[in-house]
Amino acid sequence: MRWIPIMNCRPGMRLAKKIYNEEGMVLLQEQVEMTDTFIRRLIERDVSYIYVEDERTEGIVAPDLLSDETRIMANKAIRQQFMQHMSDGRARKRRLDHDMDATVSGMLDNLVHDISKHNKAMVMLNDIQTTDHYVFRHSLNVCVYTTLFGVYHGYERDQLKLLSMGALLHDVGKMHLDPLILNKTSPLTKLEFDMIKKHAEYGYRILREDPNIPRIVAHCAYQHHERLNGSGYPRGLTSDSIHEFAKWIAIADSYDAMTTNRIYRPAMLPHEALEILYTGSGTLYEQWMLSLFRDRIAVYPLGMSVKLSTGEIGIVAEINSDYPQRPIIRVLYDAEGASVPLGTELDLSQLLHIMIVEMVDVE
């Protein structure tokens, strides 16, 4: 399979990986032939990239982190909880008594179980899903990233579940913001940005008042925009005053926001987002946490087409777990643009003089 930006998709290409709808159900199956209509609708629904079939990439497979059952449960839980937290008071609390136990708790058990099976895998969210609400998809992505890093860090299952819940609900306060400001395409005014920043406080109050939500989960919502040097919000907390869970969520939140299409800008590539995160190492984010993030994140996704410093063009065929920034490249074209025999691969962890210089579109 080959990873391509949706803008590079052409009619006649065939999907190599499922695309899911907003509820986590399969929208388009593998081997579906893409049409102008499919491409246009996926762009409209904020899909950034897809995987397509390519005989030159045979054997390159991006694994799913979540089972179909868990994905459906997660999407249902996010929508249910966020929408119910928009309801007022008494009616909301009555419903949550049952729903928290039946939906969120069970879903988190499944999610932790699925992710724990990938404790040696490189982090790469391969599930492709349309969305009708950015916050819902972002919340699931941040939950998956944060849970993965909780597994890598070695948290016990009970702690993992708390961390996952905190990540899942970290942005629940945004449901109380004006959608016109939240979805504004032009730069925010200072007043509008101050209103956006209120979501951390709103989320804390909402979750603190819910008898089914552990207090630490409420603090994850409260603190996920705090930064080590005190430059964050809403309280300007510094390093030791910020809970460790909130520090993990802050990294995942920033990374997913940068690598996802937004109303006001296109998605960054993973390695670009990682470079920006590292500019805040030790000042905004814990250096040791960023180091673990860097060592486990697949900055060049499987199937991505890249150009090397030698002029050769190829596909990312395998991620080196010890050196994720230096994957194995299946070469397709030499420096002159001539096709090379299939099976020619370069292990960049062994060829330190060769660098990936850019992502390219391969026909």
* Of 66-75, 154-163, 313-322, the least confident: 66-75
pLDDT computed for residue 68 by the predictor:
79
Confidence of residue 129 (pLDDT cuts 50, 70, 90): low
pLDDT in tens, 315-352: 999 988 788 889 999 999 999 999 998 889 999 999 99
Residues 229 and 207: their CA atoms lie apart, in Å, by 26
Q: Is the pLDDT of residue 259 over 50?
A: yes
**Ranges 57-61, 124-128, 132-136: which has the least confidence:** 124-128
> Per-residue pLDDT tens for 103-113?
778 888 888 88
**pLDDT the model gives residue 329:** 96
Has residue 170 got a pLDDT over 80?
A: yes
pLDDT band at 90 (very low <50, low <70, confident <90, very high): very low
What pLDDT does 83 receive? 75
Q: Picking from 21-25, 61-65, 110-114, 201-205, which range would have the lowest pLDDT averaged per residue?
A: 21-25
Q: Which pLDDT score, from 0 to 100, does residue 351 have?
A: 96
CB 253 within 8 A of CB 169: no
CB-facing half-sphere around the CA of 102: CA atoms within 13 A:
7
Where are any strands of DSSP class E within 29-81? 49-52
pLDDT tens for 91-107 read 445 444 445 556 778 88
261 burial type by CB count under 10 A (0-12 exposed, 13-18 middle, 19+ buried): middle
Residue with tokens 């937290």: 85
Q: Look at residue 16 and tell me whether its pLDDT is greater than 60.
A: yes
Over residues 183-195, mean pLDDT: 90
State the Cα–Cα distance between residues 10 and 26, nearest whole angstrom. 21
Residue 92 CA to residue 19 CA, distance in Å, equals 33
Q: What is the pLDDT of residues 264-276, one digit of tens each?
A: 677 788 888 999 9
Beta-bridge mates of residue 346: 329
pLDDT at 356: 93
Full-model pTM: 0.84
Q: Is 332 helix (H, G, I), strand (E, B) or coil?
A: strand
Domains and CATH numbers, the chain: 2-57 (3.90.105.10), 68-296 (1.10.3210.10), 305-359 (no CATH)
- Between CA 16 and CA 76, with CA 51 as vertex, the angle to 5 degrees is 90
Between 49 and 288, whose confidence is greater?
Answer: 288
pLDDT tops 70 at residue 262: yes
Residues of the chain with pLDDT > 90, as a percent, come to 51
From CA 182, how far away is CA 196, in angstroms rounded?
A: 7
Distance between CA atoms of 39 and 47, rounded to whole angstroms? 9
What's the CA gap between 67 and 126, in Å, rounded? 12
For residue 234, whether the previous peptide bond is cis, meaning omega lies within 30 degrees of 0, is yes
Average pLDDT, the chain: 87
